[in-house]
């Protein structure tokens, strides 16, 4: 958890000497604000945007999947038929037809029994994470995540200065026995766990999926320890092989799971339309919270997505994009088999946007990053996804965004970088000066 | 400030007895969440939405002002030319061409010297308020607002459990002498004021405008007491007569004022595109905060607004809507002169969306509301805009949304309701039973 280091005061003191009339923001900022620190990731991501670099760094859907013509037609229709409402303020809960479409879609897809009262439209899933953090976390309250976990989740939880306890992952997702041990040990210490945050299917960053027995056990544990499960599910529809597991929200009694869904991966991210599903009792508070966050999610884009669903376009579109991504994932895994050194392990997900590589302990992927940039290939350093540090020998590798050709070539380049790093004896730091 | 009343526990206990497996949310919610209470206003607003009621209650722009054809054309162009980027994730700071357009527009309009680094795109001005609250307010920190002030501001500040000190208003805006006294007295008590929140022009809810000398004094005081000024400015462009005053951000050294601007009133609210302008140093923190709130404001609508500005359509559009609203304001003020009893005072704004009426002390506009609904007319009870209570004899009256005919007829009805209430001797409460 970020701590006030006091170091910023020194900076401001210097500024202050130069311009004595300027405000000293450090005397005004909240503890929350002082805890907000720029992540190195953002700086690294800037390097990856040069056109000659093959980037596996982002988590972006491929724009070839964007159904622009359909959206153009629908948008024009929305403006003509409903412009006066779509361009007006909307309700905090969200556009009723969209909430109905989502509830029906989830019921059909997941076997839930939801209606629009169980759905709150959010401005991206990130807002859902923020609402959860806002509603549950007092400073130093304990929550549990997997280790590693989604960066944006860490950001939202740190924004309210959470104490994040972590549970390791394997190819079947979060180690449920370790979770149980952690819950027992926290319970003994009278530490209340506010919620357990999971991305059950094709997890970001690792691509792994929580197994069916672990899903059931997770819900049992949440019920036994009276805690919430925040189930962040942007990727489950992007399944390229294998059979889907039971969604956590379908295993629950309807009160322990808050579900976060989004159109960012299945349709387009740029509309920023997502949703929370949960109990009416929980959503009542979430609506009050959202009201202070942004009054309402933009109605214009809600009308567009509602009409897109109403025309029955979503499921066929998902089928179409799964074909595209399935091929990309195969190309990536084949290239990794071909080019990655034996000393490196990686996940073999059945869907989603990411694979995850683990290098030998002595490899630091942050140090390796500069070498990768020289070889014109980029990834995200894995340590960013570890809430309390660690994972310096890991990397997240995205396969959804580059072209098929670039995936193959990029993996070749990255393989070479890894090969060189593993073969090379660990460099000794040369201490110069005093 | 909302307090944990403990009363909710009783409710949950009852639920708990019925369904012992259900989660007890009250054991998990943060203090912030417990402080979030549904406002009576929302319930009252529902009553105003019946089609036969003439509503002066909302704060909605009139949909006849929405430039739907232009937006349709631009939207189609954006999708064809820039669909791949407009439908993709965007940067947290916002779309660069939009930030440049806004900086140029402000410089031309306000005489500021800003560039895109001084502009952060937000998802409505409400998000700007929330960011300010998040960055500055620790629980029980003191901020200052006018009394009354904007409801959404109160919501954002209460979300972080601020201690809100207030300063009264007159027709020239916030009483600056009272503000100075308050600052002196808080300073003596070693209470740091985190910021002063003002809506300097055509204030919501009163419609009054801060005079030029008070503007200068406000900035002097902020500098003297090392505090921020949050200048929320959705209405200044909606000026129907008189001359504009200096924007606070143009009077400042560039570090004490955070400016909130929006397209909700000048273009359409349904795109939810607004912005913060301020020092780069402040915006750096604001960007980190926004990242945890929603990653980015939806790029699609940012492209649309950027193109709308790029085509030079905004200023002519503002001129056009000012004509429409000017007429509505005149009709309303004339009708008030004709129908409102002498005992009622009201503001005569030169722009914006609202007038504000003050009734004799013994009139309670909450009680009167039911009578108004019977007479098929509605307003917002003024007390909602008083952060610490009071204002029970006041009401906010919107003139932008109803048709011209309805404004006249609605004021006639409201005049009758007021007349009856003032003439009638105050009813005695009849105590029945024990």
ipTM for the predicted complex comes to 0.92
Q: How far is CA B10 from CA A48, A96, B16, B321, in A?
A: 55, 32, 10, 52
Same domain, A135 and A274: yes
Which of A294, A312, A330 is at the close of a domain?
A: A312
CA torsion through residues A66, A72, A75, A81, sign:
negative
Q: Is A125 inside any structural domain?
A: yes
CB within 8 Å: B281 and A21: no
What is the pLDDT confidence band of residue B426, given thresholds at 50, 70 and 90?
low
Chain B residues near residue A288 by CB distance under 8 angstroms: 36-38
Higher per-residue confidence, B405 vs A9: B405
Same domain, B186 and B124: yes
- CA distance linking residue A12 with residue B284, whole number of Å: 14
Query: Backbone phi, then psi, for B194, in 5-degree steps?
Result: -75, -45
pLDDT for position A426: 56
Q: Which two tokens stand for residue A145?
A: 């995540």
Higher per-residue confidence, A254 vs B109: B109
- CA distance linking residue A6 with residue A26, whole number of Å: 9
* Residue A429, min C-alpha distance to chain B (Å): 34
Same domain, A381 and A289: no
* Residue A33, min C-alpha distance to chain B (Å): 5
* CATH number of domain containing B370: 3.90.1150.10
CB within 8 Å: B136 and A66: no
pLDDT for position B4: 36
Q: What letter does residue A244 receive in the DSSP assignment? A: P
Q: Is B249 inside any structural domain?
A: yes
Q: How far is CA B411 from CA B353, B356, B404, in A?
A: 15, 13, 11
Chain A residues near residue B33 by CB distance under 8 angstroms: 134-136, 285, 289
Name which of A2, A4, A11, A33 to mutate to probe chain B: the one with the most chain B Cβ atoms within 10 A of its Cβ. Answer: A33
- Give pLDDT < 50 ranges for chain A: 1-20, 431, 433-434
Does position B15 have pLDDT exceeding 80, yes or no?
no
Chain A residues near residue B297 by CB distance under 8 angstroms: 123, 272
What is the number of CB-based contacts under 8 A between chain A and chain B? 268
Q: Is B3 inside any structural domain?
A: no
Same domain, A135 and A271: yes
CB within 8 Å: B76 and A80: no
CB neighbours (10 Å) of residue A231? 29
Q: Is B74 inside any structural domain?
A: no
Chain A residues near residue B227 by CB distance under 8 angstroms: 23, 28
Same domain, B235 and B329: no
Q: Is B1 inside any structural domain?
A: no
Which of A312, A330, A354 is at the close of a domain?
A: A312
CB neighbours (10 Å) of residue B330? 15
Q: Which two tokens stand for residue B28?
A: 């998990």
Strand partners, B259: B231, B277
Helix/strand/coil for A139:
coil
Q: Which of A21, A60, A90 sits opposite B88 (nearest CB)?
A: A60
| Domain tally, chain B | 2
Same domain, A320 and A308: no
Q: What letter does residue A25 receive in the DSSP assignment? A: G
Same domain, A276 and A371: no
CB neighbours (10 Å) of residue A110? 20
Same domain, B294 and B327: no
Query: Is B261:B102 a contact under the CB 8 Å cutoff?
Result: yes
- CA distance linking residue A334 with residue A116, whole number of Å: 44
Q: Which two tokens stand for residue A107?
A: 């019921």
Q: Is B414 inside any structural domain?
A: yes
Instruction: Find how far residue A76's CA is from the centre of its chain.
Output: 32
Q: Is B382 inside any structural domain?
A: yes
- CA distance linking residue A120 with residue A302, whole number of Å: 12
Q: CB under 8 Å to A263, separation ≥6 — which residues?
A: A271, A273, A274, A305
What is the pLDDT confidence band of residue B5, given thresholds at 50, 70 and 90?
very low
A337 exposure class (CB count in 10 Å sphere: 0-12, 13-18, 19+): exposed
* CATH number of domain containing B132: 3.40.640.10
Query: Is A306:A275 a contact under the CB 8 Å cutoff?
Result: no
Query: Is B286:B135 a contact under the CB 8 Å cutoff?
Result: yes
CB neighbours (10 Å) of residue A336? 20
pLDDT for position A427: 54
Higher per-residue confidence, A20 vs B151: B151
Same domain, A296 and A325: no
Strand partners, A380: A396
B318 closest CA partner among B239, B225, B406: B239
Rg (CA), chain A: 23
Chain B residues near residue A295 by CB distance under 8 angstroms: 124, 126, 152, 272
Residues present in chain A in total: 434
Helix/strand/coil for B9:
helix
**Region B305-334: what's the mean pLDDT?**
98
A238 closest CA partner among A128, A125, A170, A326: A326
Q: Is A430 inside any structural domain?
A: no
CB within 8 Å: B194 and A28: yes
Q: Which two tokens stand for residue B287?
A: 């960007």
Instruction: Find how far residue B248's CA is from the centre of its chain.
Output: 17
Q: Which of A66, A194, A299 sits opposite B28 (nearest CB)?
A: A194
CB within 8 Å: A87 and B66: yes
Which of A244, A277, A312 is at the close of a domain?
A: A312
pLDDT for position B21: 66
**Cis-peptide, bond into residue B148, ω within 30° of zero:** yes
Sheet holding B354-358, edge to edge: B345-346, B354-358, B394-398, B380-381
Q: Which of A87, A264, A293 sits opposite B293 (nearest CB)?
A: A293
CB within 8 Å: B79 and A79: no
Q: Which of A23, A137, A297 sits opposite B256 (nearest CB)?
A: A23
Lowest mean pLDDT among A41-45, A132-136, B241-245, B259-263: A41-45
* Residue A60, min C-alpha distance to chain B (Å): 7
What's the pLDDT tens digit per position in B190-210? 999 999 999 999 999 999 999
Query: Is A262:A234 a contact under the CB 8 Å cutoff?
Result: yes
- CA distance linking residue A239 with residue B34, whole number of Å: 39
Query: Is A253:A279 a contact under the CB 8 Å cutoff?
Result: no
Same domain, A126 and A233: yes
Same domain, A262 and A222: yes
B9 exposure class (CB count in 10 Å sphere: 0-12, 13-18, 19+): middle
Same domain, B126 and B256: yes
Q: Which of B152, B269, B292 sits opposite A155 (nearest CB)?
A: B292
- CA distance linking residue A396 with residue A48, whole number of Å: 14
What's the pLDDT tens digit per position in B327-351? 999 999 999 999 999 999 999 999 9
Q: Which of A30, A38, A158 sits opposite B136 (nearest CB)?
A: A30
Give the Cα-Cα-Cα angle A286, A287, A291 (nearest 5 degrees). 115
- Host domain of residue A268: 89-312
What end-to-end distance do the CA atoms of chain A give, in Å?
Answer: 33
pLDDT for position A21: 66
Chain B residues near residue A292 by CB distance under 8 angstroms: 36, 126, 130, 152, 155-156, 158-159
Chain A residues near residue B80 by CB distance under 8 angstroms: 68, 72
Q: Which of A256, A295, A298 sits opposite B23 (nearest CB)?
A: A256
What is the pLDDT confidence band of residue B433, given thresholds at 50, 70 and 90?
very low
A201 closest CA partner among A163, A151, A157, A249: A249
């Amino acid at each position: 958890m970020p701590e006030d280091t006091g170091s910023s005061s020194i900076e401001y003191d210097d500024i202050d000497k130069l311009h004595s009339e300027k405000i000293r923001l450090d005397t005004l900022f909240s503890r929350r604000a002082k805890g907000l620190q720029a992540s190195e990731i953002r700086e690294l991501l800037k390097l990856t945007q040069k056109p000659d670099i093959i980037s596996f760094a982002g988590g972006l859907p491929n724009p070839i999947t964007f159904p622009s013509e359909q959206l153009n037609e629908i948008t024009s229709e929305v403006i003509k038929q409903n412009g006066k409402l779509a361009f007006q303020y909307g309700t905090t809960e969200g556009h009723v037809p969209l909430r109905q479409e989502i509830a029906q879609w989830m019921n059909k897809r997941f076997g839930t029994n939801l209606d629009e009262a169980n759905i709150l439209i959010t401005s991206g899933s990130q807002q859902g994470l923020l609402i959860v953090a806002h509603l549950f976390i007092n400073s130093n309250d304990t929550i549990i995540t997997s280790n590693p976990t989604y960066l944006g989740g860490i950001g939202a939880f740190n924004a309210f200065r959470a104490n994040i306890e972590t549970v390791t992952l394997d190819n079947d997702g979060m180690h449920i026995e370790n979770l149980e041990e952690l819950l027992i040990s926290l319970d003994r210490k009278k530490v209340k766990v506010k919620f357990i945050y999971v991305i059950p299917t094709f997890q970001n960053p690792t691509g792994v999926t929580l197994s069916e027995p672990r899903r059931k056990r997770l819900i049992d544990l949440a019920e036994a320890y009276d805690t919430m499960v925040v189930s962040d599910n942007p990727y489950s529809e992007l399944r390229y092989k294998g059979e889907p597991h039971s969604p956590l929200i379908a295993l629950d009694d309807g009160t322990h799971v808050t579900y976060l869904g989004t159109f960012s991966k299945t349709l387009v991210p740029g509309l920023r339309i997502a949703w929370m599903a949960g109990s009416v009792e929980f959503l009542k508070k979430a609506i009050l919270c959202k009201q202070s966050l942004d009054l309402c999610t933009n109605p214009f884009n809600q009308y567009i997505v509602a009409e897109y669903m109403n025309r029955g376009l979503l499921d066929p579109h998902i089928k179409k994009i799964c074909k595209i991504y399935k091929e990309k994932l195969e190309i990536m895994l084949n290239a990794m088999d071909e080019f990655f050194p034996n000393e490196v392990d990686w996940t073999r997900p059945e869907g989603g946007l990411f694979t995850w590589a683990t290098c030998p302990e002595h490899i630091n992927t942050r140090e390796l990053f500069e070498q990768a940039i020289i070889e014109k290939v980029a990834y995200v350093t894995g340590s960013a996804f570890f809430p309390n540090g660690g994972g310096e020998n890991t990397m997240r590798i995205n396969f959804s965004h580059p072209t098929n050709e670039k995936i193959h070539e990029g993996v070749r380049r990255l393989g070479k970088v890894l090969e060189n790093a593993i073969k090379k004896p660990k460099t000794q730091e040369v201490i110069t000066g005093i």
